[in-house]
């Protein structure tokens, strides 16, 4: 009788196991890796802006001026400026400027650049690639080594990992 109970128990467990639906389970893995290296050596550059006008500019307060200030675009040399004699505060500024003679200019890659003595001058020497480097390994990892003046090294790395689980209940 004990054997019959055990067999009956086995049959009940088997029926129960077969009647429970199995749940399919699936996991998806996604990986994206992007590595970008940008190395740049700047060329020499410069600007020289020539003044095309003659003239002057006067500003201030507390000063007396007698006579006409200008003769055309030039300051009248006969104009008299008088500061106060009673210890009152005053300020005075006089700037004169004349036109520049335009001169052709060329820039060289060696950095030995000569620009004319114009009113506004700006020069940037070119970079040198010595020391500037970048590398991307087989695994996608990047490294950069900055160079000297006039160089840029930019490393951009993006890593994305995603796991999607899809289960039907």
User: Is 18 inside a domain boundary?
Assistant: no
User: Is 34 inside a domain boundary?
Assistant: yes
The whole-number pLDDT of residue 10 equals 67
Q: Answer whether 0.85 is exceeded by the pTM.
A: no
The Cα-based distances of 93 to 58, 81, 166 in angstroms read 6, 11, 80
Task: Please state the domain count of the chain.
Answer: 2
User: Is 17 inside a domain boundary?
Assistant: no
- Written as six digits, the tokens of 147 are 């160079």
Q: Give the rounded distance of the alpha carbon of 62 from its chain centre.
A: 47
Q: Are residues 29 and 62 in the same domain?
A: no
Q: What is the mean pLDDT of each run of 10 residues along the chain (169 residues)?
A: 62 62 67 88 82 82 86 83 88 84 71 71 82 88 86 88 66
Q: Are residues 77 and 60 in the same domain?
A: yes
Q: Are residues 105 and 59 in the same domain?
A: yes
- The whole-angstrom separation of Cα 19 and Cα 147 is 71
Structural domain harbouring 64: 49-124
User: Is 9 inside a domain boundary?
Assistant: no
User: Is 2 inside a domain boundary?
Assistant: no
User: Is 59 inside a domain boundary?
Assistant: yes
Dihedral angle, C-alpha 99, 103, 106, 112, nearest 10 °: -70
User: Is 10 inside a domain boundary?
Assistant: no
The whole-number pLDDT of residue 38 equals 92
Q: Among 108, 127, 129, which residue's Cα sits nearest to residue 42? A: 127
The whole-number pLDDT of residue 107 equals 64
- The whole-angstrom separation of Cα 47 and Cα 127 is 17
């Amino acid at each position: 009788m004990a054997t019959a109970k055990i067999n009956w128990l086995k049959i009940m467990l088997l029926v129960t196991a077969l009647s429970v639906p199995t749940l399919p389970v699936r996991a998806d893995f996604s990986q994206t890796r992007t590595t970008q290296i940008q190395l740049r050596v700047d060329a020499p550059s410069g600007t020289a802006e020539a003044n095309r006008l003659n003239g002057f500019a006067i500003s201030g307060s507390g000063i007396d001026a007698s006579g006409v200030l200008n003769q055309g675009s030039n300051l009248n040399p006969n104009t008299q400026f008088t500061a106060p004699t009673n210890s009152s505060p005053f300020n005075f500024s006089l700037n004169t400027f004349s036109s520049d003679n335009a001169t052709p200019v060329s820039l060289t890659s060696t950095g030995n650049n000569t620009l004319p003595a114009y009113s506004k001058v700006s020069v940037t020497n070119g970079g040198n690639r010595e020391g500037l480097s970048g590398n991307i390994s087989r695994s996608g990892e990047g490294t950069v080594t900055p160079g000297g003046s006039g160089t840029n090294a930019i490393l951009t790395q993006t890593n994305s990992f995603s796991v999607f689980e899809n289960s039907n209940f």
